[in-house]
Amino acid sequence: MRIEGQSALVAGGASGLGAATTRALHERGASVVIADLNAEKGEALASELGERARFVEANVMEAEPVRAAVDTAAEADGGLRISVCCAGIGWAARIAGKQGPHDLEIFHNVVKVNLIGTFNVLRLACAAMAGNEPDGEGERGVCVNTSSIAAWDGQIGQVAYAASKGGVVGLTLPAARDMAGRGVRVMTIAPGLFDTPLLAALPEEQREALGAGIPFPSRLGRPEEYAQLACHIVENPMLNGETIRLDGALRMPPR
């Protein structure tokens, strides 16, 4: 599917991987709706990009705000054609430790944001795309989700995060099969260690050490590289029902 002239939604699109994807889609000629909880950053990015960029405040865990963001993107001629979900949170805690068992509410919240939130965006975007007119290839839309290499290589303390991201991997193929008859593709990207706001809080020495552990290139991934892959997925009609690791051949050790 071509990007130029299409309407796109980026959930979690105000910072990190999402902001890079918002910029990449916009640079390639798409009209982009930025859906994010952070109104200050979202409005600033929409203002920076100017024409063809709008911000809608939305929590991916809530149906109506996400529906409003999807509806805003679907108002464009041709309807919503591209949806990318980058929203997510992390948490570190062992399943049982000195403080007792893993907090159940924290586990619930991580799964709710990362897995249920992703599904919420996916289900509403797919429903909107199903009503589009097909293009020359029979496509009506493309959805890109975000998992993590923790889905396979979860480290000590990542039980909640790994479970939530593993769920995103698990829903990718059946979701693609669900939507195949409507011409909507579903894909997932599983990033490794990327230079996002989460890692920006670490000391530079620690950031460099993390990057050095990646086989090649031996550095942290750049958000623009995630965005580049997301755009390629949109443009390559044979990519469907798969999760792509984007990690420089990294396999995470236990700790």
- 196 versus 45: which is more confidently predicted? 45
User: Is the per-residue pLDDT at 207 higher than 90?
Assistant: no
Structural domains in the chain? 7-246 (3.40.50.720)
226 flagged as catalytic: no
Gap between the Cα atoms of 236 and 89, Å rounded: 29
Residues belonging to the chain: 255
The whole-number pLDDT of residue 201 equals 67
Which is catalytic among the residues 55, 91, 107, 161? 161
pTM score, whole prediction: 0.96
pLDDT digits (tens, 9 = 90+) for 92-117: 899 998 889 999 999 999 999 999 99
